[in-house]
Amino acid sequence: MYDPISTRYTFPCPVHGEARVRLHDFRELDRLPGAAHPAVFRVRYACSCGDDHLGLVAHDDLDWAPLGLQAGMFLNLMTDRLEPVQDEFGDLAARRIGAGEWPWSFFCYPEERPRPVFPSMFWLLAPGTAAGSIGLAVRCPACLRLSINIVSAEHVDVPFHNDAAVGVVEHVFAGDALNTIEEFESELYSASFDARRLKLH
Ligand SMILES: [Zn+2]
Ligand SMILES: [Zn+2]
């Protein structure tokens, strides 16, 4: 499902049979009601065939697999043995989080502060106006309000890669604003952005 080496998810594609997509290719994440252990998300993703498709991702695959906490084997060049990726990546992730580094972060505009976050709190993603940038609508895990940040693709795809500064849409959204992708995209293309530093500590 998720490969931590290539940082890609594998999904079905009706044209190519299989699509390998990164987190920044996700367009919309929807937590399905019902399933709780683990929670399951319906994901719409932009496929290399040119269409968007729907797929299902378990909560673990969204938030923990990119940290290597659920993965296969890798060749350890020190011991020349195949070893579980989980040990190597998992320990490292645990140490970095323990040291105050966060795998993902965003700038919460209503609170005017950076916050740690996990991909399961991402809601909508779309290419930003600047080349290679990604517009990201995030529901804040602390205040539950919505912010739109403009980030790099790596900021989304690569755990512990946090942009030094991100673009922030200066708008406090009402509870149910942004009902549609179209509203999100028009916000993304028309809004004024301000740069905010993303230093968590
Ligand atoms: Zn496809
Ligand atoms: Zn917040």
Distance from residue 147's CA to the centre of ligand 2 (Å): 8
State the pLDDT at residue 70: 59
Ligand closest to the CA atom of residue 53: 1
Q: The whole model's pTM is what? A: 0.85
Give the chain's count of helices (H) and strands (E): 4, 15
Residues with beta carbon < 5 A to ion ligand 1?
13, 15, 47, 49
For residues 26 and 44, what is the distance between their CA atoms, to the nearest angstrom? Answer: 6
For residues 187 and 123, what is the distance between their CA atoms, to the nearest angstrom? Answer: 15
Q: Where are the domains of the chain?
A: 1-99, 105-197
Distance from residue 53's CA to the centre of ligand 1 (Å): 7
* pLDDT (tens place) for every residue of the chain, 201 residues total: 888 778 899 999 999 999 999 999 999 999 999 867 778 999 999 999 999 999 999 988 998 888 877 555 555 666 666 666 666 667 788 788 888 889 999 999 999 999 999 999 999 999 988 888 999 999 999 998 999 999 999 999 999 999 999 999 887 777 666 666 777 888 788 767 788 888 765
State the pLDDT at residue 130: 83
Distance from residue 193's CA to the centre of ligand 2 (Å): 18
Distance from residue 1's CA to the centre of ligand 1 (Å): 16
State the pLDDT at residue 73: 58
For residues 14 and 19, what is the distance between their CA atoms, to the nearest angstrom? Answer: 9
